[in-house]
Amino acid sequence: DAGVIQSPRHEVTEMGQEVTLRCKPISGHDYLFWYRQTMMRGLELLIYFNNNVPIDDSGMPEDRFSAKMPNASFSTLKIQPSEPRDSAVYFCASSLQGALSGNTIYFGEGSWLTVV
Amino acid sequence: SQQGEEDPQALSIQEGENATMNCSYKTSINNLQWYRQNSGRGLVHLILIRSNEREKHSGRLRVTLDTSKKSSSLLITASRAADTASYFCATGYISGGYQKVTFGTGTKLQVIP
């Protein structure tokens, strides 16, 4: 398996622009997670999906952030409009089952976002 | 706030020495995992320990869990330069009716050849 695939790997955009990050989870995994990593706040869970349905989006910072999972093999995280404080590494991850199972969470290589 | 806090934040040791990292958390958990992150890469799973277990081994890794103290430790024996990375604990638990996995702040390990 190719693992979790994210795109783009790097993006530099101007403040106010729309940013779309994409993710292809591992085939057969029922759970998909979006995390954000910064030096100041560490690794934060933004949202997770179970069988394409958003379950917990309490970590989404504000209305400028939205995430979708139209099918089992694709998810997007969108920021509109983007701000410099959104600069971070955004990770997509997937797992077979939920947190209580202790299943391994497989991470993508991340999308490095810089908003100038 | 984050569920897990790691200690120390940074650790520098000589190759061949043992490295110990600690993780403390705040609420009851179902399981705890340790992950490793090389610079500029995604996190990679190392080992899982469930709340009813006290110790697990995997190769040069030894993990302990003390649920009464809400803490875990990761020991890497006979460290190698290739072990240089950041190490994170991740706790699995229920909060607000949701299953959650929350990562700690991480320990940055440097192994000097």
Instruction: Write out pLDDT tens, residues B70-112.
Output: 999 999 999 999 999 999 999 999 888 888 899 998 999 999 9
Q: Per residue in A21-44, is it b (16+ CB within 10 Å) or e — as a string?
A: bbbbbbeebbbbbbbbbeeeebbb
Closest approach of chain B CAs to the CA of A42, in angstroms? 6
pLDDT at residue A53 is higher than 70: yes
pLDDT at residue A77 is higher than 90: yes
pLDDT at residue A2 is higher than 90: no
Return the amino acid letter for B14. Answer: Q
Residue A1 — pLDDT band, cuts 50, 70, 90? Answer: low
- The answer to whether A5 and A107 are in contact (CB under 8 A) is no
- Which one of A90, A97, A100 makes the best mutation probe of the B interface by having the most chain B beta carbons within 10 Å? A100
Residues of A with CB under 8 A from a CB of B: 4, 33, 35, 42-43, 45, 55-56, 58, 91, 93, 98-102, 104-110
- Which one of A4, A43, A57 makes the best mutation probe of the B interface by having the most chain B beta carbons within 10 Å? A43
